[in-house]
Amino acid sequence: MKQYLPIILLMFLFSFSSCDDTLDCIINVRPEIRTKTLALGFVDEYYSEAITAEIKNEVNDNDYDYYFDVVGRLPEGIEVFYNRRREVVFKGIPKEAGRFRLEVYLEVTSHYDEGGRINGPLCSDNTSESYVLVIR
């Protein structure tokens, strides 16, 4: 009986959710923003820095749509550009010094590929990461 217990538990687990959903969460398929320290910037010097994202444990992460939002005050002269292909970019010529705390939010959605198939479900479809932009 002990040898059948793991099989019985798995069958019980799969009976309450679809197989794909459960397996995706076991594998931990979810969006992830790369953790990094933003490059140091200087007043009146061109600044450019990108933050990228991916779907963890998913080889087809370009097949998802990425929607970013940045919350926090940026220094005057720096703008945010959203690239739905997995990145958010800060660039411009900063006009003020300081430490600027930013929160980057990401939500991803799956869509149909060329063959008419939809990407698999995710354990989570959103995430966020905190950053500090330092301008001297």
| pLDDT band with cut points at 50, 70 and 90 for residue 24 | very low
The 10s digit of each residue's pLDDT in 59-68 is: 677 778 888 9
Determine the Cα–Cα distance for residues 99 and 91; give it in Å rounded to an integer: 16
- The per-residue pLDDT for 133 is 96
Determine the Cα–Cα distance for residues 133 and 94; give it in Å rounded to an integer: 11
Length of the chain: 136
Cα–Cα distances in Å, from 107 out to 4, 78, 86, 124? Answer: 40, 23, 11, 9
Determine the Cα–Cα distance for residues 9 and 64; give it in Å rounded to an integer: 33
The 10s digit of each residue's pLDDT in 72-93 is: 999 999 999 987 678 899 999 9
The 10s digit of each residue's pLDDT in 44-57 is: 999 999 999 888 77
Residue 135 burial (C-beta neighbours within 10 Å; 0-12, 13-18, 19+): buried
Determine the Cα–Cα distance for residues 36 and 22; give it in Å rounded to an integer: 30
Residues whose CB falls within 8 Å of the CB of residue 93, separated by 6 or more in sequence, listed in order: 44, 45, 46, 47, 77
